[in-house]
Amino acid sequence: GIQVEQSPPDLILQEGANSTLRCNFSDSVNNLQWFHQNPWGQLINLFYIPSGTKQNGRLSATTVATERYSLLYISSSQTTDSGVYFCLLNQGGKLIFGQGTELSVKP
């Protein structure tokens, strides 16, 4: 089956810094989502992005489907950005989450 790898597994930032999170996958996908899981466990939708680039405030995402990766950019990070970031892939109807990147933003 498809393999999903997120990097880095952990990231510590100072408030105000920028970061790039990566989701690599081993095969073509039908669609891809990015989520933020807050400290209370709620999965919050960030982007539905099977291809191309989207932006929402300080966050943006790019998926290059032909090269099998997606990137999530966080600019001017805030302490409320802390939590775990997941990518979710749909490959031919099979749904797979990455293992996540745990982000900690320090004041």
Partner 1 sequence: GAGVSQTPSNKVTEKGKYVELRCDPISGHTALYWYRQSLGQGPEFLIYFQGTGAADDSGLPNDRFFAVRPEGSVSTLKIQRTERGDSAVYLCASSFAGTRGYNEQFFGPGTRLTVL
Q: What is the DSSP letter of 43?
A: E
Instruction: Establish if 86 lies at the interface with partner 1 (CB under 8 A).
Output: yes
Considering beta carbons, is residue 41 or 57 the nearer one to partner 1?
41
Considering beta carbons, is residue 57 or 93 the nearer one to partner 1?
93
Tell me how far apart the alpha carbons of residues 88 and 95 are, in angstroms, rounded to a whole number.
Answer: 7
Q: 73 phi and psi, to 5 degrees?
A: -105, 130
**Shortest spacing between CB 78 and partner 1, in angstroms:** 22
Alpha-carbon 28 to chain mean position: 17
Instruction: Establish if 83 lies at the interface with partner 1 (CB under 8 A).
Output: no
- Contact with partner 1 (CB under 8 A) among 14, 39, 66, 95: 95
Ramachandran category for residue 22: left, alpha or beta (phi over 0 → left; psi -120 to 50 → alpha):
beta
Residues that bind partner 1 (CB under 8 A): 30-31, 33, 35, 40-43, 45, 48, 86, 88, 90, 93-100
